[in-house]
Structure 1
Amino acid sequence: MASGGETLFAETLSNDVLLYRLQILICDGGLLVLRNILDQTLAAQGITLRACLDSEKSTVRHLKNRGVITQEQYDILFPDYDRIPTTTDMDISLVICLLRNLKCFGLSQRFDWDATPISSDVSVEADICRLRTLRDKICHMSTTSRIQPTDFATVWSDIEEVLVRRSFPALNMQQIIADFKNCPLDPEESKKIQKEVKKWKDYEADVGRLEDEMKEISANVSDVSKKREEIKIPQYQNRLF
């Protein structure tokens, strides 16, 4: 839960500043932690990022064909001229996508990524899911007219809890988070953050549209198959009688 100090902090700032603080926390802090999760899970498996991607290239291609991974993201994973792919080139959407879909990261294949994790579930999968949900929540906030101070404090606290839990010992995450809350507003940094948020929105909109199209195609195929079976049955019956 958010503390009274956090709420007081929020009440003294404008709506735009509150939104910017949340965006930079999830953009920079969230991405830093998610990249580390990806790197650490690979290290635990004893394989490199390139070996992981090469071993599951068919899965990555399938994700690209479905529109879940963009051409730009695919080129980052499989760069030309023998360049080695690294997590430093990945955005938050790509890191989450890889962690969710590639078996080489060793995450549970039975985890329900579409369900809200219960509070007692502090697994890596649950925290990745929470960061994705919080990112989406901040995207939604950027389309509304006002952010209530209590909403700011709650979302900030929720993100901070996950970042601290998933940070590695050499990283002073508490200090990094404090810097995000109090750093001077940099117009150029703000433009970079807004560009990143727009990418999230466009990405989620494209994935949602493609999922709807796939459902429609599946429904049409099912309908056609059903009609074919209905046609076959009378013909078969006529042969019997």
Structure 2
Amino acid sequence: MAMSVIGAGPDKDRTRFFRLNLVIIDELTPILRDLLHNEIQPTDIFNTVKQKYLKIFRPDEIALISTAKTKSYNDFDITLLYKLLRNVCPNISSPTIKWGLSKMPSQNEITVGDDIERIRLIRNNVQGHITEAAIPETEFQEYWSTISDICTRMQTLLNKDYVRRLKKAEECTIDSETENNYMDKIKQLAKEEEDMKEILLKILEEKELTSKENLNIEAKCGRKRKFVETLTNTSIYILNEMVKSINEMTSESEIDQLYENIEDFMQGNKEEVDNEQFLKLHEKLKRKSHYMQIQTSQIK
């Protein structure tokens, strides 16, 4: 489907930016949700991930996946949907070349995996313009043609009217209220991801994680309190399972050697890395290594 020429100039560039974001949020993201629903029912997704794919996902992602039983995939963003479709759905045909490329698939590469890659790249590229909130006409036309082709193929595959919905998105008015609405949505998506990283960092840095300990981490937003509780519990579960596996499969001497190797690496590279978290981890590792040396000497 060809897109009509909107025009040139700063205002038109801004309109194009928000129209593409409207399509990314309201049309392309639902396509990925429909693809996932077609492969795995929301009631089954958490158990599937827990049984085979736990190590692929971050604790905050697993916490969100656990809500699918009651909320379906409605809160899953493109990042999480992409990871699930790529890693957990064996019936999804892979991209023609491979997953995770930085270049858009060519026009003759039209597997389902190719279209999933296109959606990921379109989202990344378009939202990379957020600082200026503008898309030039030529770039817009290229994106719109690609999105139109995706909708046509997905409509054939999933028997849903994506083409008509894209036509409505083409014709809808983009006024200041719509711009503010979608800018808020873009910023909220970014903020939620940062909030989850902060929560994880708090869990990992400030607590000795045990299965019996209670962690009190308050959500900044009341409606997310239950989600944060689930995230905390999931984080503890995952980390405990990791520690358990290490203890079962690794001897004390091998663990000691691992600490020494990491300590040597961090000691040799800390001057080159201006990163507060790196330095904090280095200090914790030094204390841990010192403690282990004391324990070893007492045993001897």
Whether these two folds match at TM > 0.5 is yes
Residue 29 of structure 2 is aligned to residue 31 of structure 1: yes
Q: Which of 108, 129, 134 is matched with 1:141 structurally?
A: 129
1:11 aligns with 2:20: no
Provide, for residues 184-224 of structure 1, a one-character-per-residue CA deviation record: whole Å limited to 9, x for no partner. 236555444223323555649x99xxxxxxxxxxxx74975
Q: Does 1:77 align with 2:62?
A: no
**Per-residue deviation at 1:63?**
1.3
Matched, 1:152 2:140: yes
Unaligned residue ranges in structure 1 (runs of 5+): 43-47, 66-70, 208-219, 228-241
Given that residues 96 and 132 in structure 1 are in contact (C-alpha distance below 8 angstroms), is that contact kept between their aligned partners in structure 2?
A: yes
Distance 2:54 2:182 in 1: 27
Contact 2:7 2:137 in 1 (8 A): yes
Give the RMSD, CA atoms, in angstroms.
3.6
Change (3 A) 1:192 1:78: farther
Structure 2: any 5+ residue segments left out of the alignment? 198-260, 269-300
2:187 is aligned with 1:198: yes
Structure 2 equivalent of residue 51 of structure 1: 44
**Which has the higher relative contact order, 1 or 2, with Cα contacts under 8 A spaced 6 or more apart?**
1
**Pairwise CA distance, 1:125:** 0.8
The Cα offsets for residues 22-77 of structure 1, whole Å up to 9 and x where unpaired, read as: 111111110121111111223xxxxx333232022152465114xxxxx3x43332
Aligned-partner Cα distance in 2 for 1:179–1:10:
19
The answer on 1:90 being equivalent to 2:85 is: no
Alignment TM-score, normalising by the size of structure 2: 0.54
| Equivalent residues, number | 197
Q: After the TM superposition, which residues 168-187 of structure 1 pair with which residues of structure 2 at under 5 Å, given as runs? A: 168=156, 170-185=159-174
Cα 1:124–1:145 shift into 2, 3 Å: closer
For residues 22 and 186 of structure 1, what CA distance do their matches in structure 2 show? Answer: 14
Q: TM-score, normalised by structure 1?
A: 0.66
The answer as to whether partners of 2:17 and 2:133 remain within 8 angstroms in 1 is no
From the CA coordinates, give the structure whose radius of gyration is larger.
2
Query: Secondary structure of the residue that 2:99 maps to in structure 1?
Result: coil
Are residue 167 (structure 1) and residue 155 (structure 2) matched? yes
CA distance in 2, matches of 1:108, 1:181: 29
> What code does the residue aligned with 2:148 have?
E
